[in-house]
Amino acid sequence: MSFKEYPIRVGSMLFTAVDPERGHEVSYNRWYERDHYYAGCMIGPGMLAGSRWVATADLKALRFPADSDVVPNIEAGSYVAIYWINDSQFDEWNAWAVDQVNWLYGNDRGFQHRIHAHTGMYLHDSRWYRDEDPVPLELALDRNYQGLVSLAVQRAEGTTQEDLEAWFSAQLPDFLKGSPIASVAAWTAVPLKDDAPAFVPRDPNAASRSMQLYFLDGDPRESWDAFKEWAERIDASGIGRVTYCAPWIPTVVGTDKYTDELWG
């Protein structure tokens, strides 16, 4: 059966990487999973799917480069939550989300003991698949993939978004073939609204950066050498430079698993 696209389509995403303050790991995990994940995101208009991922201390140690401008320091961000928003509903969801988070904090539904490492709204640019009949990106957050790699590429001066996408379209098939990487999705950030919460960091380089998500069938630790080689290939291409590469594994929903493994 040939691959068919359906009318439901991801148009944008929220990517939010956060650290709990030390000593608040369990309470943060429970607050986010049992309240904020739903009240702050999933009940919003046009929200298709969401998932949470964690980086234990050994996974953080694999991240590179050390001088990343995506996060305050390369080890920042123990949890990442990713959400898909239906195509054409970005503005509606974004307006709702700002009002909603302000309402939640105003009604004592926030969590003070957390630090945002990188939070951004992104518009979907491109997607690439390993298989001829793949799991569509729309289902990726529900697929229970065993690994995720977030990789950011800062475009070189004079390189357009079209140039960047053309390079990856030509090079990714070879990289994906026979690998545990089922799909890759690329995104460009949109500026935060002026009334977005002040605790969310602003990112001056976001507009010329491609944030890419690699969904893996296996543990990212087992293919990390391949990602290091892939980053070297990107850096050598002249189209841009990898400014962030981080592996994640899924949280175990309903448990506190990994809360005691976040710090080295």
pLDDT digits (tens, 9 = 90+) for 97-122: 999 999 999 999 999 999 999 999 99
Residue 23 pLDDT more than 60? yes
9: which residues sit within 8 A by CB, 6+ positions away?
A: 86, 87, 138
Cβ partners under 8 Å of residue 202, min gap 6: 192
The yes-or-no verdict on residue 176 having pLDDT over 80 is: yes
122: left (phi over 0), alpha (psi -120 to 50) or beta: beta
pLDDT digits (tens, 9 = 90+) for 229-264: 999 999 999 999 999 999 999 999 999 999 999 998
Residue 139 scores a pLDDT above 80 = yes
Q: In Å, how far are 130, 214, 215 from 136, measured between CA atoms?
A: 11, 13, 11
87 neighbors 10 (Cβ within 8 angstroms):
yes
Q: What is the dihedral of CA 202, 242, 124, 15, to 10 degrees?
A: -50
Identify the pLDDT of residue 4.
87
- pLDDT bracket for residue 200 (50, 70, 90): low
pLDDT at residue 206, as a whole number: 76
Instruction: Give dist(CA 198, CA 246) in Å, integer.
Output: 25
Q: Rounded to two decimals, what is the model's pTM? A: 0.95
pLDDT one-digit tens code per residue, 26-67: 999 999 999 999 999 999 999 999 999 999 999 999 999 999
pLDDT of 194 over the 70 cut: no
